[in-house]
């Protein structure tokens, strides 16, 4: 299979046309008149063109969305049970493209993601985000303690409810029916997207998901496990977090050429036979520049899939090439404890025991978590045939250098879907495509100047789409829209890397990422930094 280089595919998709609406309904009374009795309007605000909007009190997302088109900003509060409620924000642009989009959240944070909303509203979408039912930063789960309703709101209820009401309010505001609905999110936002596909297939026509934390119970306990593997800090096997860069450099040194091109980018880590012993400390060597034998064993354990003592498989582990970001999966140096993503999760979300001592962690906690699936957060219903039946399109990506959610978690999810759909005789290619992005870290940034930016999702600051490359080849959200609305399925997406990840500076590199299990391969001529020098080649003989 060969997909022709992008230069030949010059056809660009212009941003969908937006129409100006005369809108005098940007007031609380109007929205209240549309809402059911269990919801009420907290705020409306007319934002002028090039204005900004946000809430300093939104501790998860305090950054204002800026350079906005003229729009009506709204905050709505919804009662979700006798003891819980959630809010959601809407941006309703004066020039509307007839479409609706919801953006996702990150970590366990609770807050309206105004910032991400601001990056997609300039396309013309009526845009929403929910606070997921609580108010906290990403690693704080105090709000969940003994609070099953709040767990359910974070788990899935707040997003789905916000989507239903958001659509209703949008249609009423414009006195018109929206034509298409979309979703974009990464990490927890990716999990939210997968849950929508699995649980509420009618919500979206197109879903753009990055690095989904889809298997919450195992993802969070993996985070705990890897932290414990490295601890305690005073042991001989402990790898200080600032040494992971050394390992990253060695992985790139050994693996870069495995794809035939020496450019600092490992196109397929599976092609590399990495040997960590090259970092073994020599007699007299400064130990902050090398690894001792127990540290090398720790490195090996951190890259082996996690299993319990009976060899029951639990979760994939760090991918080769993710070392530069691995340290963010551990706790803070000096605390001698694993990441709060693991400890807070068990104490407040699974066991409801704020005094839980992580040093007692054992396999039974995994079993308890799975049996409870607290908040219904796991996205583990792999029968997504209802989403297929309603004509939904799913575009899923994951960075190959992700140090927070192992790339293997997405490969596992893809395979679970594949097994399930194959049993039902439903081929995936027409409606679900998966893209692995070489060198990309967790939802943003990359190792070795690898191009990673693909627009649409919550990625670069203050940017809508892919500046200078506003077409479906370079912008995953435009690719998804073209797929949903015109039936053109994307074989590849061209990712971009700017100097300092700043779109006002020079483009350093662009390269296609190919639909799984394909791989971009150098044509043999032209600059390796130009996308047209690469073609998609299936990695299956």
Ligand X SMILES: *[C@@H]1O[C@H](CO)[C@@H](O)[C@H](O)[C@H]1NC(C)=O
Q: Which is nearer to ligand X, 94 or 481 (CB)?
A: 94
**In the bound complex, what is the minimum distance in angstroms from residue 299's beta carbon to ligand X?**
19
Q: Is 402 a catalytic residue?
A: yes
DSSP assignment of 235-258: STT---GGGHHHHHHHHHHHHGGG
Q: How many CB atoms lie within 10 A of CB 176?
A: 13
**In the bound complex, what is the minimum distance in angstroms from residue 284's beta carbon to ligand X?**
10
| Distance between CA atoms of residues 275 and 132, nearest Å | 44
Q: Which is nearer to ligand X, 12 or 81 (CB)?
A: 81
Residues 6 or more apart whose Cβ sits within 8 Å of residue 485: 180
**In the bound complex, what is the minimum distance in angstroms from residue 264's beta carbon to ligand X?**
7
Q: Which is nearer to ligand X, 34 or 528 (CB)?
A: 528
**In the bound complex, what is the minimum distance in angstroms from residue 38's beta carbon to ligand X?**
4
| Distance between CA atoms of residues 457 and 451, nearest Å | 15
Q: Which residues bind ligand X (CB under 6 A)?
A: 36, 38, 42, 50, 52-55, 57-59, 64, 66-67, 77-80, 85, 87, 135, 161, 232, 234-235, 286, 288-289, 360, 362, 364-365, 381-383, 419-420, 423, 449, 461-462, 508-509, 527-529
Q: Which of 402, 471, 475, 491 is catalytic?
A: 402
What does each C-alpha distance from 470 to 66, 172, 213 come to in angstroms? Answer: 19, 30, 29
Closest by Cα among 519, 11, 265, 525 to 535? 519
Sign of the alpha-carbon torsion through 455, 459, 463, 469: negative
**In the bound complex, what is the minimum distance in angstroms from residue 286's beta carbon to ligand X?**
4
Q: Which is nearer to ligand X, 258 or 529 (CB)?
A: 529
The structure tokens listed for 304 are 């082996």
Q: Are 399 and 443 in contact (CB under 8 A)?
A: yes
Helix axes 293-303, 216-230, angle to 10 degrees: 180
**In the bound complex, what is the minimum distance in angstroms from residue 351's beta carbon to ligand X?**
6
Helix (H, G, I), strand (E, B) or coil at 195: helix
**In the bound complex, what is the minimum distance in angstroms from residue 289's beta carbon to ligand X?**
6
Q: Which is nearer to ligand X, 330 or 483 (CB)?
A: 330
CA angle at 435 for the pair 440 and 160, rounded to the nearest 5°: 95
Q: Which of 218, 303, 442, 474 is catalytic?
A: 442
Q: Are 168 and 353 in contact (CB under 8 A)?
A: no
Q: Which is nearer to ligand X, 18 or 162 (CB)?
A: 162
**In the bound complex, what is the minimum distance in angstroms from residue 273's beta carbon to ligand X?**
26
Phi, psi of 437 (to 5 degrees): -110, 110
Q: What is the DSSP letter of 89?
A: E
Q: Which of 85, 129, 187, 248 is catalytic?
A: 187
Sign of the alpha-carbon torsion through 161, 109, 140, 57: negative
Q: Which residues of 59-86 are buried (b: 16+ CB within 10 A; e: fewer)?
A: ebbeebbeebbebbbbbbbbebeeebbb
Sign of the alpha-carbon torsion through 39, 43, 49, 52: negative
Q: Which is nearer to ligand X, 9 or 528 (CB)?
A: 528
Q: Which is nearer to ligand X, 428 or 489 (CB)?
A: 428
Residues 6 or more apart whose Cβ sits within 8 Å of residue 207: 182, 183, 193, 196, 197, 392, 393, 394, 395, 480
- Name 307's bridge partners: 313
Q: Which is nearer to ligand X, 244 or 483 (CB)?
A: 244
**In the bound complex, what is the minimum distance in angstroms from residue 397's beta carbon to ligand X?**
22
| Distance between CA atoms of residues 476 and 482, nearest Å | 10
Q: Which is nearer to ligand X, 53 or 397 (CB)?
A: 53
Q: Is 187 a catalytic residue?
A: yes
CA 537 to chain centre: 26
Q: Which residues of 453-489 are buried (b: 16+ CB within 10 A; e: fewer)?
A: bbbbbbbbeebbbbbebbbbbbbbbbbbbbbbbeeeb
**In the bound complex, what is the minimum distance in angstroms from residue 19's beta carbon to ligand X?**
22
Positions marked catalytic: 187, 402, 442
């Amino acid at each position: 299979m060969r997909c022709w280089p992008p230069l030949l595919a010059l056809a660009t998709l212009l941003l969908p046309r937006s129409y100006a609406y005369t809108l005098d309904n940007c007031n609380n009374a109007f929205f209240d008149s549309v809402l059911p009795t269990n919801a009420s309007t907290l705020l409306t605000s007319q934002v002028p063109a090039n204005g900004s909007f946000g809430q300093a009190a939104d501790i998860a997302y305090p950054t204002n969305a800026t350079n906005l088109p003229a729009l009506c900003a709204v905050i709505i509060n919804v009662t979700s049970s006798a003891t819980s409620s959630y809010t959601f924000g809407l941006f309703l642009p004066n020039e509307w493209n007839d479409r609706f989009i919801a953006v996702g959240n990150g970590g366990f944070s609770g807050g309206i993601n105004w910032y991400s909303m601001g990056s997609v509203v300039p396309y013309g979408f009526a845009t929403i985000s929910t606070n997921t039912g609580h108010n906290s930063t990403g690693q704080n789960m105090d709000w969940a303690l003994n609070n099953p309703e709040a767990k359910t709101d974070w788990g899935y209820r707040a997003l789905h409810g916000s989507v239903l009401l958001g659509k209703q309010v949008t249609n009423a505001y414009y006195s018109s029916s929206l034509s298409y609905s979309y979703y974009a999110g990464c990490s927890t936002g990716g999990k939210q997207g997968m849950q929508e596909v699995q649980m509420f297939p009618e919500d979206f026509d197109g879903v753009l998901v990055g690095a989904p934390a889809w298997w919450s119970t195992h993802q969070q306990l993996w985070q705990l496990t890897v932290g414990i593997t490295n601890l305690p800090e005073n042991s001989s096997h402990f790898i200080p977090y600032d040494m992971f860069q050394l390992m990253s450099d060695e992985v790139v040194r050994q693996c870069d050429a495995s794809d035939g091109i020496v450019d600092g980018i490992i196109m397929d880590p599976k092609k590399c036979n990495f040997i960590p012993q090259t970092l073994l400390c020599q007699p007299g060597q400064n130990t902050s520049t090398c690894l001792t034998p127990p540290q090398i064993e720790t490195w090996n354990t951190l890259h082996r899939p996690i299993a319990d003592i009976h060899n029951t498989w639990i979760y994939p582990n760090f991918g080769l090439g993710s070392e530069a970001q691995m340290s963010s999966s551990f706790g803070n140096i000096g605390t001698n404890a694993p990441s709060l993503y693991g400890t807070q999760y068990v104490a407040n979300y699974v066991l409801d025991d704020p005094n839980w001592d992580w040093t007692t962690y054992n396999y039974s906690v995994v079993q308890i978590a799975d049996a409870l699936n607290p908040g219904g957060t796991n996205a583990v219903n792999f029968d997504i045939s209802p989403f297929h039946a309603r004509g939904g399109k799913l575009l899923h990506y994951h960075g190959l250098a992700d140090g927070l959610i192992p790339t293997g978690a997405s490969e596992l999810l893809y395979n679970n879907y594949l097994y399930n759909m194959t049993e039902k005789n439903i081929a995936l290619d027409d409606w679900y495509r998966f893209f692995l992005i070489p060198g990309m870290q967790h939802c943003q940034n990359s190792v070795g100047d690898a191009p990673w930016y693909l627009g649409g999702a919550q990625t670069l600051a203050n940017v809508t789409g892919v500046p200078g490359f506003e077409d479906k080849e370079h912008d995953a959200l435009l690719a998804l829209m073209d797929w949903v609305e015109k039936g053109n399925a994307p074989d590849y997406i061209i990712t971009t890397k700017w100097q300092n990840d700043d779109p006002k500076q020079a483009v350093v590199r662009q390269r296609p990422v190919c639909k799984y299990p394909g791989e971009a391969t150098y044509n043999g001529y032209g600059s390796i930094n130009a996308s047209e020098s690469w073609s998609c080649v299936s990695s299956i003989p």
